[in-house]
Homo-oligomer: A and B are copies of this chain.
Amino acid sequence: MPVLVMKFGGTSVADLARIENAAKKVKAEVERGYDVIVIVSAMSGETNKLVGFVEGTSNLYDAREYDAVVASGENVTAGLMALRLQEMDIPARSWQGWQVPINTTSAHSSARFISIPREHIDAKFAEGFKVAVVAGFQGVSAEGRITTLGRGGSDTTAVAFAAAFDAERCDIYTDVDGIYTTDPRITSKARKLDRIAFEEMLELASLGAKVLQTRSVELAMRYKVRLRVLSSFEDTDETSGTLVCDEDELMESKVVSGVAYSRDEAKMTLVTIEDRPGVASAIFGPLAEAGVNVDMIVQNISEKDIGNRTVAVTDMTFSCPVNQVARAQKAMEDARASGKISYDDLVVDTDVAKVSVVGIGMRSHAGVAAKMFDALSKENVNIKVIGTSEIKISVLIDRKYMELAVQALHDAFDLDKV
């Protein structure tokens, strides 16, 4: 039998009625001839409640105990889903992480998979069971302690099972009906994509389209697991949602697939730093240690007279989430005070947003950047920083122009048309 993995997130199993609704979707796939592995999250709110209990008990908590407490939410849903499927006359049983066993590292609360042996579940499928319901987000360490994978870990569990069981597809049921060319709240012209490449999804996810967890997409890409994102609140069939797949499977040949944005960015500029080998490391080392997620980095070199000699100097600009600005400032000031770096001024702009166009087609098409800058210029949007990757061009702009910029780019690249 071909294997299908189906994953239901917290809002999709929030109460008994929704679990029943999810079970109906599982039943439909069983009737299509699949052996199904269902990965479930905790009922929405449960994980937060359990985390609150732990944080209310202990400040610097033992991550092993945290994991043991927090993983229990998924166990409840797994049992209830198995029971609901049995009520529908579908042979099913639940598996907790240690029962499979889902072997992980001992890095509690951010464990990584080591192996997912197929024997136990394969044996049940061979006996005639049609569905294995697996508690997501968790595993077991070599020491026999319960581990968790960190937030979003149920998506990762689903992809890992799809890889381990050579599943035909990994369907991620969530509260949106697919991946859009951009946020429909910003432009009503946003269009649901039928397919999108892993690489594009990664760029869209990290840029703010928070449908799929980045790590799960990376894992899917590595093991070539076909991911489908679809709604658990709508009637769905084999063509619903958006398929995230290898670019070989893409039918559309658009240069640009989507416009992403990130609202709460900050731009920081170190004015006049010395341009010598090691200076970038002297700046970004302390920022990393301070837990600042630096995103874009731009450097301009010029020359400056110091006393009787001319040295190469530069301004260094970088962006980070706006809520990390205070930490970043302190890290820079401390580094200057200790003599590791020198700069004349630290200019902070907390009123910027990032807008990006993403598309696997731009690898083979010139002129995307020019078209982007032209579209923004027509709307009088000033570009403050530009950054590019192979399949993405990002700009930092004043936050107040963000929606306007997204709309303009969506139009410029005809994203409303198939």
Chain A interfacial positions (CB closer than 8 Å to B): 16, 19-20, 50, 53-54, 56-59, 61-62, 64-66, 68-69, 72-73, 75-76, 78-80, 82-84, 86-87, 93-94, 96, 98-99, 144-146
Contacts and interface: CB of A to CB of B under 8 A. Distances in A.
Contacts of A50: 76
A84 B57 contact: yes
Contacts of A94: 65, 68
Nearest to A79: B69
A82 B64 CA distance: 10
Given A19-B57, A57-B84, A93 B65 contact: yes
| Chain A interface helix/strand/loop/mixed | helix
Nearest to A17: B56
B80 A75 contact: no
B65 A86 contact: yes
A57 B16 contact: yes
Given A57-B87, A65-B93, 16 more contacts: A19-B57, A20-B57, A57-B83, A57-B84, A58-B86, A61-B83, A62-B93, A68-B75, A68-B79, A69-B75, A69-B79, A69-B80, A72-B73, A75-B75, A96-B146, A99-B145
B86 A62 contact: yes
Nearest to A49: B76
A68 B96 CA distance: 9
Contact of A93 (B64, B82, B93): B64
A86 B62 CA distance: 8
A62 B82 contact: yes
Contacts of A144: 99
Nearest to A96: B68
Given A16-B53, A16-B57, A58-B87, A76 B80 contact: no
A14 B78 CA distance: 25
Nearest to A95: B68
Given A72-B75, A94-B68, A144-B99, A80 B62 contact: no
B69 A76 contact: yes
A14 to B, nearest CB: 12
Contact of A78 (B56, B62, B68): B68
Contacts of A79: 54, 65-66, 68-69
Contacts of A62: 82-83, 86, 93
B53 A65 contact: no
A77 to B, nearest CB: 9
Contacts of A93: 62, 64-65
A133 B208 CA distance: 42
Contacts of A86: 58, 61-62, 65
Contacts of A145: 99
A68 B83 CA distance: 11
A354 B57 CA distance: 46
A83 B84 CA distance: 34
Contacts of A64: 93
A250 to B, nearest CB: 41
Contacts of A59: 87
A145 B56 CA distance: 31
Contact of A80 (B57, B80, B84, B99): B57
A117 to B, nearest CB: 13
Contacts of A146: 96
Contacts of A56: 16
Contacts of A75: 68-69, 72, 75
Contacts of A98: 98
A86 B59 CA distance: 11
